[in-house]
Amino acid sequence: MTTIRPYRDADRDALYDICVKTADAGGDATGIFTDDRLWGDVFAVPYAVRHPDLAWVVESPDGRTVGYIVATDDTDAFERWFRDEWWPSKQSAYPLSGSAVPTRQDGIIGYAGRRAPGGEKHAAEYPAHLHIDLLPETQGQGLGRRLIETLFAELGRRGVRGLHLGMNPTNTGAGVFYERLGMHRLQSGPDTTMYGVRFV
């Protein structure tokens, strides 16, 4: 039976694996970067390290970790920690290419280096944010909804005002999914579509 359970430290490698296999607008990004772990070090693992109490995984009947949701209940506090503690411990593993035309990997490294409190304009009204990824074998079974409902219930219990998230505009299926969960479009830029939901 497929189950949802709290994240454990033993799931960390699976988070890296799931993240890269879903990082290219929902598709497999393996081999796009010189080190596949960059995806997880920016978009998944730091959340589980900082907030293991806001991380859940999907466990398959054969015991594999095949999906996750990770989050923070305070975006600005998280981004301060990411800037001051997490990224300095990882940055040396991901040097810039030095190419005259920045690569896609350079873009992600640059994004990680620019992260800071106050960088997300929606964080005041929607202070929490999340990342969710499921391997293709798990999709269409209602597991994404169950993960998000689990997180939303915990954020509501904590009295968190609201949550925002950003997604690749080309991942239209994800947008439909978020809208079905009661999220609404927020003001967005050309490279990211933003959604939000209020709890209180």
Residue written as token pair 């579509």: 193
Average pLDDT, the chain: 96
pLDDT at 117: 98
Q: 1-47, pLDDT tens digit by residue?
A: 899 999 999 999 999 999 999 999 889 999 999 999 999 999 999 99
pLDDT at 25: 82
pLDDT at 171: 84
Domain that holds residue 185: 3-198
pLDDT at position 57 over 90: yes
Record the pTM. 0.94
| Residue among 89, 136, 82 nearest 112 (CA) | 82
pLDDT at 199: 95
DSSP string of 116-147, one letter each residue: -TT--TTTTTS-EEEEEEE-GGGTTSSHHHHH
Let me know: does 44 contact 131? Beta carbons within 8 Å: yes
Distance, first Cα to last Cα, the chain: 34
Let me know: does 30 contact 20? Beta carbons within 8 Å: yes
Count Cβ atoms below 10 Å from residue 11 Cβ, excluding itself: 21
According to DSSP, residue 69 is labeled E
pLDDT at position 68 over 90: yes
The domain spanning residue 158 has which CATH number? 3.40.630.30
User: Confidence band (pLDDT; 50, 70, 90) for 80?
Assistant: very high
pLDDT at position 129 over 90: yes
Let me know: does 90 contact 36? Beta carbons within 8 Å: no
CA distance 113 to 52: 23
Instruction: Count up the domains in the chain and report the number.
Output: 1
